[in-house]
A and B are shown apart, each in its own frame.
Chain A
Amino acid sequence: MTTTSHASTKTPIIAIRNLQKSFGTNQVLTDINLDVVKGEVVCVIGPSGSGKSTMLRCINTLETPTGGSIVVDGMDMTDLDLDIDAARTRIGMVFQSFNLFAHLTVRENLTIAQTKVLRRSKAEANKVAEANLAKVGLSEKMEAKPGSLSGGQQQRVAIARALSMDPDVMLFDEPTSALDPETVGDVLQVMRNLAEAGMTMVVVTHEMEFARQVADRVVFMDGGVVVEAGPAKDVIGNPQEQRTKDFLSRVLHPGQLG
């Protein structure tokens, strides 16, 4: 929350311009514009169906945009000549449902893309894997199979897996939404550490407290457009738009009518 002013001065590491996405005739994103500078943590909030996950998945083109442009680290993600696989190695992604490779151990989950995609040696890949697993506090689970871990542990391994590629940017797609309440804290703590270490992060989340404390900027999306964006204390603490106010009153005071 301290670093909001440099957004305008530095060139953005993620630049989204006029992004549009439709599935058939269903227009999910109408016109998204968003810049993220290096080291910034941006939390994207909004009601379900607002297009925030789709926007995130467009950044590494897991969903192909139907219009507009996305530039990440100087790479035009919509350029058909771009080596999309190489580009994706620089964009880490964490999913709501973890998506750890179920047939591999934690060690193999953390090393397989390092050795097969980045062509690192086994020894180097293992070193990186061990360092990142320590970062998420699960060093003792190196040889475990994902199925034997709790949801929170799986998500922390998934974060370590993404970090092992040494990405420039990390995307989080509702990382705590599929977790038991008591394991949410561990995952958020890992993300907090990551933010403090200077990682550029775009986080789609429903955790308002996390957004308030960690985000440099909060983006509120609804109906496929960015309704309001700004410092967390403004967007969450003092929203200007009626739609933002309605949404926040629903999530911050669930159970109350109106």
Chain B
Amino acid sequence: MSVPTASEDGRQTGPAVPAATATPKAKMSKRQKAKLSRGIQYAILVVIAVLVAVFADWPTLIDSFGRIDIATGMFPDVITMALKNTVVYTFLGFALGLVIALFVALMRLSSVGVYRWLATIYIEFFRGLPALVVFLVLGFGMPVAFPGFNLPQLIIIMIALGLVSSAYMAETIRAGIQAVPKGQIEAARSLGMSSSRAMFTIVLPQAMRIILPPLTNELILLAKDSSLAYILGSSVDGRELAALGRAEIVNTANLTPFIVIALCYLIITIPLSYLSRVLERKYGSADSGVK
């Protein structure tokens, strides 16, 4: 078979080639082209994988990142203490952040100008600051500035994570509230509900459906941000994943603990992102029934 020439000629000088030999592969259809392009992409991926496998220094790699004995040595502390602390810090920070965010979002939508300005300043300020700076200021700056400022570590972490997350969540909640049709408030007010009752019984429950998926994403971000707690230094049983990982790396002079704590973060975040997708499917496309 003269397939190559046929296809080559088909491209260049189509009409010159006898129809009988040219038709099957004379000119590639769109679908064939897409198939070929995908094949090339797969081939590139395989080549990269093979190159990595061949050229990587496996003994050194395993020795640095994959020491089973070091990994097993981290148990059960990594779960019972570090993972637990990460989860506790995350949820405490999230709970505080959510409360602050709700207040700030309501202020942002207030008819009182001063509230709106304060809320805007708050949001811009904390959204613009790196989480690290917030931790440093709360952990080291405040005790210096105010000698009496001596909060328990857990509270400082909770406040820091709460402040960092609240700015983002406030914007999410504001957008959710604004996505609820204005007619819902008008109907509630026309039935004699006060504006705050209309907000809490009619608007917020509907806004929740809209903001639940993005809030779950914020929870994931917060779980990762909680790793910054390590810079505060902490008592041994207050260590979360990142702090434990660092301590273990110093102790063992090996990088395996990084892999272990990375997996632990995934244990937290993957179910959350699954939850986020479920919520999005459940509420995201739900027919609001309005109009």
Q: Interface of A with B (CB < 8 Å)?
A: 60, 62, 85-89, 91-93, 95, 97-103, 112-113, 116-118, 145-149, 154, 158, 161-162, 165, 178
Contacts and interface: CB of A to CB of B under 8 A. Distances in A.
Contact of A62 (B186, B205, B287, B291): B186
Contacts of B186: 62, 95, 99
Contacts of B270: none
Given A85-B194, A165-B192, A99 B201 contact: no
B25 interface: no
Contacts, number: 82
Interface of B: 181, 183-184, 186-194, 197, 201-202, 205-206, 209, 286-291
A99 B288 CA distance: 11
Given A97-B183, A101-B184, A113 B290 contact: no
Contact of B189 (A62, A118, A178): A62
B290 A60 contact: no
Contact of B193 (A102, A113, A147, A148): A113
Contact of A116 (B181, B201, B287, B288): B201
Given A97-B183, A147-B289, A102 B191 contact: no
30 contacts: A62-B186, A85-B193, A86-B192, A88-B189, A88-B191, A89-B191, A92-B190, A98-B183, A98-B290, A98-B291, A99-B184, A99-B187, A99-B290, A101-B184, A101-B206, A102-B184, A112-B201, A113-B191, A113-B192, A116-B193, A116-B201, A117-B191, A117-B197, A118-B192, A145-B289, A146-B289, A148-B289, A158-B187, A161-B191, A165-B191
B183 A99 contact: yes
B73 to A, nearest CB: 52
Most buried by A among B202, B205, B287, B289: B289
A146 to B, nearest CB: 4
B205 A103 contact: yes
Contacts of A148: 289
B192 A117 contact: yes
Contacts of B183: 95, 97-99
A178 B291 contact: yes
A85 B190 CA distance: 8
Given A62-B186, A113-B192, A99 B289 contact: no
Contacts of A62: 186, 189-190
Most buried by B among A85, A145, A162: A85
A112 B291 CA distance: 21
Nearest to A86: B192
Contacts of A98: 183, 290-291
A159 to B, nearest CB: 12
A100 B290 contact: yes
Contacts of A113: 188, 191-193
Contacts of B187: 93, 95, 99-101, 158
Given A102-B288, A158-B187, 20 more contacts: A62-B189, A85-B189, A87-B192, A88-B190, A88-B191, A93-B187, A95-B183, A97-B181, A97-B290, A98-B183, A98-B290, A99-B181, A99-B187, A101-B184, A103-B205, A116-B193, A146-B290, A147-B287, A162-B190, A162-B191
B192 A88 contact: yes
A145 B290 CA distance: 11
Given A95-B183, A97-B290, A117 B206 contact: no
Contact of B206 (A86, A103, A145, A158): A103
Nearest to B182: A99
A118 B193 CA distance: 10
Given A97-B183, A112-B201, A102 B290 contact: yes
A102 B289 contact: yes
Nearest to A161: B191
